[in-house]
Amino acid sequence: MGSSSAVWTPPPSGSMKLNFDAGWAGPRGQGFGLVVRDDKGAFQVAASHYEDHRSDPLVAEALSFRWALKLAAEWNLDNLVIVSDCQQLVTAFHQCHSFPSLQQILLDCQQLFSSFNCCSFLFECRKTNVVAHALAAESHLYHDCAWWGDPPVGILLHLAADLPDL
């Protein structure tokens, strides 16, 4: 599951992987997207959130992380591998005090993160995060939505392209 991987890889057996992303959405907004898949690559849930303003990209990624953690906690998900394509965010999370502009958001994230029994937060390259990225980019179409069991049509091709060869 390292950054050298060019395709989505499943989490360890019995775990779920949560990919999230932030991105520009619509003419002036920012969006967040997340997708959760099991250790076989099967879709579990996806969500999107839209905000009618734009933050600095790193702040947007941190806000997206906090949003994803809140949803995962709300949904009682556990045994998670949480993945971001923003290396700077992963570094900031693990060295919170080195990033004063993000400190409050990251402290919120650390508190949420500690509520999970088994959870890790890793960096993976952008190519492994296309589904979450698509949801973030199209969030202005969905606003605040969650899809359980059946993904939205807009990400079906991305999910199919991501299926692992198990």
> In 29-162, where does DSSP find H-type helix?
57-74, 87-94, 103-113, 130-137, 139-142, 156-162
Q: Looking at the domain assignment, is residue 5 inside a domain?
A: no
* Higher-confidence position of 118 and 164: 118
Q: Residue 152 belongs to what domain range?
A: 16-161
| Predicted local distance difference test score (pLDDT) of residue 65 | 97
Angle at 69 between CA 106 and CA 65, to 5 degrees: 50
CATH of the domain at 136: 3.30.420.10
Q: Looking at the domain assignment, is residue 73 inside a domain?
A: yes
pLDDT digits (tens, 9 = 90+) for 29-86: 899 999 999 999 999 999 999 999 888 899 999 999 999 999 999 999 999 999 999 9
